Structure 1
Amino acid sequence: MKQSNEKFSGVVRCLRVEDLPRIQQMVGKLAEHHGDVATVTLEELARDVLGASPWVRILVAELSGDVVGYAALCPLAQMQFGARGMDLQHLFVEEHARRLGAGRALIKASQARARAEGCKYLSVGTHPDNVMVHGIYPAMGFDPLDPPGPRFRINLSETAA
């Protein structure tokens, strides 16, 4: 993949309330890309990304007044080290805006946001088949990590018995 050496000519900024429908659309596109169907409602999205202490922090890339991408950051902790971290949970750029530097600008802004919140690290996971990004993150200073050990989950929804 040819990487852009151009500086992004748009802006990266924090999410605004009026961005929510656009973010919801892009979340759906990213889910579809991964073979999922996004079911998040605008109300659920607002609950998670707005307010004084949001569960998820959203940064948006804006180009000529249009939101063309977003990064979703989720808090992490390594309590034994007293280390806060952030996980770059979602990174999405609309197809027409790719290779213009928006993704790199979102990653750099994510690093700055994590630092501003007192984080010692920023992590990101990618799908093994997403070979397009396998060189991008190391080129931006990210170190590869070994896969985590076994993980488990329990369904806590009301419909679970």
Structure 2
Amino acid sequence: MPPIRPAVKSDLPMVLDLAHALAAYHGDTATLTLAALERDCLGEAPWVTLLVAEGATGLHGYAALCPQTQLQFGARGMDLHHLFVCDTARGRGIGKALVAAALEHAEAQGCSYVTVGTGTQNRRAQSFYRAAGFDQITPDPRFRRRLA
């Protein structure tokens, strides 16, 4: 099992490639740049916690966590925004190890919950998260307005 650890600057080019691969898997075109990844994960005011699964030949996967809150309850949470394991490393427990590390990180930050989303058709991911102890919740309608 590869070690799971916080990302460092030298990991970012490979994480960038993995994030683009994840977007392609979902039929999206990633626009993430190395500069934006560094700003958001390692910059002055980090926005994302990035955990990586290190292998002998590079990274096998990563998990990206974003903070959340239920302010009215004084509850901190984390959203497991991305979880990705390379095709060549799947089936070895790396995804489970990344989830376990993400849960441990969230607990260390005083979080009382972790959320994760999947595509409606991604039954494999849904089964994976159920097996990892996540409960399916009915999402509330959400709205978005883009800013300049």
Q: Tell me the TM-score range normalised by the shorter chain.
A: over 0.9
Give TM-score, length-normalised by structure 1: 0.88
1:89-132: CA deviation from partner (whole Å, max 9, x where unpaired)? 00000000000000000000000000011100011000011111
- CA separation in 2, counterparts of 1:58 and 1:12? 10
Alignment partner of 1:154 is 2:145: yes
Q: What count of residue pairs does the alignment treat as equivalent? A: 148
Question: Counterparts of 1:1-161 in structure 2 under 5 Å?
Answer: 9-51=1-43, 53-149=45-141, 151-157=142-148
TM-score relative to the length of structure 2: 0.96
Tell me the alpha carbon deviations over residues 22-78 of structure 1, each in whole angstroms, 9 at most, x when there is no partner. Answer: 010001000111111111111111110003641011000112252110000000000
State the distance in 2 between where 1:43 and 1:136 align.
Answer: 32
Distance 1:106 1:125 in 2: 16
Which is richer in helix?
2
Q: Which runs of 5+ in 2 are unaligned?
A: none
State how far apart, in whole Å, the 1-side matches of 2:71 and 2:25 are: 34
Secondary structure at 1:40 match in 2: coil
Identity among equivalent positions (%) equals 49
* RMSD of aligned residue pairs (Cα, Å): 1.1
